[in-house]
Amino acid sequence: MKSNSIWNADLGNGNYRNPILYADYSDPDAIRVGGDYFMIASSFCNAPGLPLLHSKDLVNWKVVNYIISEIPEERYKEPIHGCGVWAPAIRYHEGTYFVCFPMPDEGIYMSTATDPFGTWSKPVNIRPGAGWIDPCPFWDDDGKAYLVAGVAKSRIGYKSVLHMVEMQPDGMGLIGEEVKIFDGNENDQETIEGPKMYKRNGWYYIFAPAGGVKTGWQTVLRSRNVFGPYEYKVVMRQGDSTVNGPHQGAWVDTVTGEDWFLHFQDVYAAGRITHLQPMSWHEDWPVIGIAKEGTDGIRRDYGEPVMEYRKPNVGDITVSVCEPAASDDFTGSQLGLQWQWNANPRKEWYELTGNSLKLNAVRMEEAYGEMPNLLLQKWPAPEFTCITKLDLSHLADGEEAGVISMGMRYGLLTFRKDGSHLLPRFVAGEQKYGKILVEAVEESAQELPVIDWNHAGEIYVKYTVKQTGTQDLNSKEKGFPLELVTFGYSTDGSSYRKAGEMNAVPGRWVGVKNGVFCCYAGSEVKENCGYAVVDYVEYDRSL
């Protein structure tokens, strides 16, 4: 299987391009420890959860671990789209790595490790209860520790408020009562959330996005006292750039003294992709991106995003050009780190055979999009083709396997075994949401020509994502890409028949994912099930 570069930000000439990751690593937070950068992101109901990425230069990144192997709490054995792990924070204190993450219905959790590449501790719920989100721990110079957090209106009835509370120095509990330190409803900072706390020159800083995911900006609060009062300033806006809603992320520095900011941009179907901006200081306020002159020639005190810039100066080191994995031939002893399940996984769902992935048929209790055993990965680029080779010769009658494009609007190409035939069909589905949860799912199916069985049962599925224009979802926005997803299939890997197409719609707070499944319909669990074999998935930028 050939290895292709899908999206790499390193231009090879000393510059980089944005986004540095064209993939849905949403709500990023990052730290530097020595010469290493570690970044984490939201994962919602997908498991394993909380991907950990590593870089040496802030441009070239690889997924190296997950903080949690499964989502805490029993109910996540089924997909609960939009719930689960929201915006996390990562910090390093006295030899220990801390990851603090919210689950808006369950509480605020903390996990730790001394080796970030190893196994992280079982999460501890340090603030049980619904409502608080986006927590960030902070250790002060005197050894005291604090936690700053936002709130979710859908769980607590109000929004745009930040709270501060003292935390145990070991990070495993809270002390005293929380204090409201900022209310965005009282000024022009509505929907302020995602706070990240730092200290510089005697100032306490809280970096917090406001204005909403799609059209917002980056705000920074500062105070001489942990509990305030805090003054604020907008430090980055979209301005004349094409980067809508540039906010929510992490301030990091380099060993050479430079400052940089990682943030996301919501591009609709592909999710929230990651950008890197230079950061400077003006009168003890940060300016993120490039500050441009106004029409009156006066320097602005906020920045606008860059699309190309020189790479960070990280010292005299050699950095390999890399990107998160996408293609997979399943030759390892564990699933590749690009893969996540639609819910907490069960060991009986799959097996790695040494040169392929065996997916056991699992009873389908709900609609296709509600199956927990969907094995998925993020879109890795704005446009691409993914070829999946399946061996369906081990399916029992009535069992099926295929490839799915998963979002609130989803599509899939499935092949059901029926005696000496394979019955292919293209299924389109859409999730209908209430205030928080899916309340209904609508599905329709298009039957395709019957495939006569061959001795191997080999099927090739071609999944193509192509940008076909833009859509203007709000008058304040310049339009998001409109992606057309097309499915095709072949029995020889050369000549493909078109099976169906759909306009992509993201999932609940997540970008579209694509992947594989194996299942059967019925009211009873079968004792002896067949299986499908996934020989490989291969991504390519060519369409």
Three-state SS string across 16-47, please?
A: EECCCECCCCCCCEEEEECCEEEEECCCECCE
Torsion of CA 265, 266, 271, 274, to 10 degrees: 0
Q: CA-CA distance, 394 to 533, in Å (whole number)? A: 8
Q: CA-CA distance, 35 to 20, in Å (whole number)? A: 19
| Amino acid 477: pLDDT | 62
Parallel, antiparallel, or unpaired for β 480-490 and 497-503?
antiparallel
| Amino acid 296: pLDDT | 66
Give catalytic residues, as residue numbers: 27, 193
The Cβ-side half-sphere exposure at 337, using a 13 Å CA radius, reads 17
CA dihedral over 336, 341, 346, 348, signed as positive or negative: negative
* Secondary structure (H, E, C), 82-124: CCCECCCEEEEECCEEEEEEEECCCEEEEEEECCCCCCCCCCE
| Amino acid 374: pLDDT | 98
In this structure, what DSSP letter does residue 482 have? E
With b for 16 or more beta-carbon neighbours within 10 A and e for fewer, the 402-434 pattern comes to bbbbbbbbbbbbbbbbeeeebbbbbbbbbbeee
CATH number of 26-255: 2.115.10.20
Q: What three-state secondary structure class fits 257?
A: coil
- Using pLDDT thresholds of 50, 70 and 90, give the confidence band for residue 523: confident
Element (H, E) at 357: strand 357-360
Under the phi-then-psi rule, with left for phi > 0, alpha for psi from -120 to 50, and beta for the rest, what region is 530?
beta
Q: CA-CA distance, 478 to 473, in Å (whole number)? A: 9
Please give the single-letter amino acid code of residue 502. Answer: M
Task: State pLDDT tens for residues 465-496.
Answer: 999 988 876 655 667 889 999 999 999 999 99
Task: State pLDDT tens for residues 227-272.
Answer: 999 999 999 999 989 999 999 999 999 999 999 999 999 999 999 9
| Amino acid 303: pLDDT | 96
What six digits make up the tokens of 272?
């929230």
Q: CA-CA distance, 122 to 494, in Å (whole number)? A: 47
Q: Which CATH class is domain 340-540?
A: mainly beta
Nearby residues of 459 by Cβ (< 8 Å), 6 or more positions away: 389, 390, 392, 415, 422, 451, 489, 490, 491
Give Cα 134 distance to the centre of its chain.
Answer: 15
User: Domain coordinates of the chain in residue numbers?
Assistant: 26-255, 340-540
| Amino acid 106: pLDDT | 98
CB 503 within 8 A of CB 409: yes
In this structure, how many other beta carbons lie within 10 angstroms of the beta carbon of residue 78?
Answer: 15
254, burial (CB in 10 Å: exposed 0-12, middle 13-18, buried 19+): middle
Q: CA-CA distance, 86 to 42, in Å (whole number)? A: 5
46, 80, 92, 284, 504 from 507: Cα distances, Å: 12, 11, 32, 39, 10
- Using pLDDT thresholds of 50, 70 and 90, give the confidence band for residue 456: low
In the chain, what is the greatest distance between 2 CA atoms, to the nearest angstrom?
77
Please give the single-letter amino acid code of residue 450. Answer: V
| Amino acid 542: pLDDT | 85
What six digits make up the tokens of 450?
């019957």
| Amino acid 2: pLDDT | 56
Task: State pLDDT tens for residues 379-430.
Answer: 999 999 999 999 999 999 999 999 999 999 999 999 999 998 999 999 999 9
Average pLDDT over residues 495-519: 97
CB 358 within 8 A of CB 367: no
| Amino acid 298: pLDDT | 67
Task: State pLDDT tens for residues 258-308.
Answer: 999 999 999 999 999 999 999 999 999 999 999 977 666 666 779 999 999
Selection from 150, 160, 158 nearest residue 188 by Cα: 160
pLDDT at 64 over 60: yes
Average model confidence (pLDDT) across the chain: 95
- Percent residues over pLDDT 70 in the chain: 97
